[in-house]
Amino acid sequence: MMKELNQLPIPLLLWYRENARVLPWRSDPTPYRVWISEIMLQQTRVAAVLDYYRRFLEAVPTVADLAALPEDALMKLWQGLGYYSRARNLQKAARQIMENFGGVFPNTYDGIRSLAGVGDYTAGAVASIAFGLPVPAVDGNVLRVVTRVTGDAGDITAPAVKRRITEALRQIIPTEAPGQFNQAMMELGATVCLPNGAPLCGRCPAAEFCRARLEDRIGQLPVKAPKKARRIERRSVYLIVSEQGVALRRRPDKGLLAGLWEYPNELAEEGAIPALLGLEQEELVPAGQGRHIFTHIEWRMQAWTARIPAEALPESWVWADRQALARDYAVPNAFQAFRDFVDRQLGYF
Ligand code: SF4
């Protein structure tokens, strides 16, 4: 493994110098900026992150601002990016920095790793890019590049394999440019050594010594154990309207989409008749279907709508008109399928 890896840093860094994409967090890599970008980029493509990143940095330019931000404002900034626990952890971490580190971003790997929502990869990325510490940052892109370059057929979902690869990278990471090296690895994985068997080897700085290419094994690497099937959940979603808007309720503080606002909904048996607020079945009108895929669950939703008097709203729910929906309430993308319907209903007022 080491033979190929030892050859990697110099051609990789030269390639990166010529080919690095210009990205806003790269121009001024302060710890705060690198951290926010890395958290946003988890499970999310660069193109989808750019606007969110700019808006977030404008609205919340410092750790102290983030620590003090009201929760609804935070969720509103995050609305549409998904995986909302990331936003919650960002704020938790900002408060940790204020309380445990005197408001100064921690400058050691262990300090960074101790922050909420920060795993090995993110700690490595921030430590190397913002502080120049020689620690690897190993994400899916990096695992793909390393297993292909070295011909390693270990299962990359196994923690032991990830540890082995991390250790191997620790041996070769150039101490004078660890941040550049880590970013170059990720960039190579994201733009050249593409997944699903179609890498652009002709443009790759590792092509000459890459085992997968030389041995014609690209399609077989990396090796990944198959994922567990997602659980399918059928849900009834209620788009209840009155002259004051559409009914929203807040989700519980823990679990999936914790603390976000949603259209009331519940688990439904297939073909079962929904019942809500004592409404008769004929008062609930079908209002479309939607589907949303989370990491471990898939929601298959049937929406129902009804018009009720404003005062009939249960106590902990709220009415949101068009303006409030746009400004104050973060309704997750899972309910995207019903947005047009709700918008049309609210347009009638
Ligand atoms: S030569 Fe091809 S398979 Fe090997 S690292 Fe480069 S892009 Fe990936």
- Blockwise average pLDDT, block size 10, the chain, 349 residues: 92 97 94 98 91 97 98 93 92 98 98 97 98 97 97 96 97 97 97 90 98 95 89 93 94 89 88 68 85 93 91 91 90 93 82
Supply the pLDDT for residue 295. Answer: 85
Cα(239) to centroid of ligand 1, in Å? 50
Backbone angles phi, psi at 70, to 5 degrees: -60, 145
Closest ligand 1 atom to the C-alpha of 221? 3
User: Could you give the CA distance from residue 138 to residue 124 in angstroms, rounded to a whole number?
Assistant: 8
Distance CA 64, CA 303 (A): 41
Asked if residue 212 has its Cβ within 6 Å of ligand 1, the reply is: yes
Pocket test for ligand 1, best of 193, 211, 214, 217 (most atoms within 8 A of CB): 193
Buried b (16+ CB within 10 A) or exposed e, 3-34: ebbebbbebbbebbeeeeeeeebeeebebbbb
| Residues recognised as catalytic | 38
CB 12 near ligand 1, within 6 Å: no
- The pLDDT value given to residue 339: 92
In this structure, the strands spanning 318-320 and 245-250 are: antiparallel
**Is the minimum distance from the CB of 204 to ligand 1 under 6 angstroms?**
yes
Protein residue whose Cα sits closest to atom 1 of ligand 1: 207
φ/ψ of 205, rounded to 5, equals -70, -10
Pick the atom of ligand 1 nearest to 218's CA: 3
Q: Is the peptide bond before 195 cis (omega within 30 degrees of 0)?
A: no
| Mutational pocket test of ligand 1: of 8, 12, 145, the residue with most ligand atoms within 8 Å of the beta carbon | 145
Nearest residue (by CA) to ligand 1, atom 4, is: 210
Region of 259 (left: φ > 0; alpha: ψ -120 to 50; beta: rest) is left
Which residue type occupies 6?
Answer: N
Specify burial of residue 76 (Cβ count, 10 A radius: 0-12, 13-18, 19+). middle
Give the amino acid at 263. Answer: Y
CB-CB contact of 4 with 210 (8 Å): yes
Q: Is the CB of 199 under 6 A from ligand 1?
A: yes
Contact present, 217 and 211 (Cβ < 8 Å): yes
Could you tell me if the CB of 23 is within 6 A of ligand 1? no
**Ligand 1 atom at minimum distance from 201 CA:** 2
Residue nearest to atom 8 of ligand 1 (CA): 193
205 lines ligand 1 (CB under 6 A): no
Which helix H or strand E contains 143, and what residues bound it? helix 140-150
CA dist., res. 74 & res. 90, Å (int): 10
